[in-house]
Amino acid sequence: MHLIDFMNEDIKKKLVKKTYKKKETILFAEQENEYVILMIDGIAEAFILNVKGNISTIHLYRSGSFFGEMEQFNDGKKPVEIVAFTDCNVYKLHRNDFLNWLKGDFEATKFLIREITSKLVVNAELIEELSSLSVKERLLRCISLHYYRNELNLLTKKQLASEVNAPIRSINRAINECVQEHLIAYENKRFSVINQREVLKNLPTT
């Protein structure tokens, strides 16, 4: 089931439909958010930017998922930014309508708590997993994301080193290893994918 399945008709009438184009920001980090957002279709990418300016994707939201719910209960730091990975259609429900609905719907509240708990566990596991990945594995993860976005032709070694959080010499070793395994190619300062199936195995699936 999805969160929208618990909504009665009165609440559904308060949903506002909105479309976001690919690469358009849906939620800005550190900014006030008064809406819970439910994905109708498309994929949205949640990422954090660390103090060094490196980007780490922590979640991919797909049809049926939702986000923005934690901000309705927490006025603290909000480091996560969410951007449309593809064109996205969403429903937005204002905080007041969201909280008033939950007050009178215990089943929806239980479902929400389960989903939040699951999301926290998955994200914690992902962060732990990322910290244990080798430079090569982080490199393939980064390349798979850029390839999926159809932006691989824009990826440079400098940017890759920043996103992978590794020195250029380590990046070069990882690139050479991937080239020798016929996973990718690197020619004329441009990356290309040779083995799409294997490379896309590194794409986040959450």
Is 47:27 a contact under the CB 8 Å cutoff? Answer: no
**pTM recorded for the entire structure:** 0.66
Residue 52: the pLDDT is 52
Q: How confident is the model at residue 129 (pLDDT cuts 50, 70, 90)?
A: low
Of residues 19 and 156, the one with the higher pLDDT is 19
pLDDT per residue as tens digits for the range 145-173 = 888 878 888 888 988 887 787 889 999 99
Q: How confident is the model at residue 130 (pLDDT cuts 50, 70, 90)?
A: low
Query: 91-100, 107-116, 117-126, 162-171: which has the minimum mean pLDDT?
Result: 117-126
CB burial readout 99-113, b (16+ within 10 A) else e: eebbeebeebeebbe
Residue 160: the pLDDT is 85
| Percentage of residues in the chain having pLDDT higher than 90 | 49
For the chain, the average pLDDT equals 86
Calculate ∠ Cα 37-148-161, nearest 5°.
100
Residue 19: the pLDDT is 97
**What is the chain's alpha carbon radius of gyration, rounded to the nearest angstrom?**
19
Q: Is the predicted pLDDT of residue 89 greater than 70, yes or no?
A: yes
Give the bridge partners for 67, in sequence order: 37
Residue 204: the pLDDT is 67
**Which tokens is 152 given?**
């691989």
Q: Is the predicted pLDDT of residue 77 greater than 70, yes or no?
A: no
DSSP 31-76: S---EEEEEEES-EEEEEE-TT--EEEEEEE-TT-EES-GGGT--S
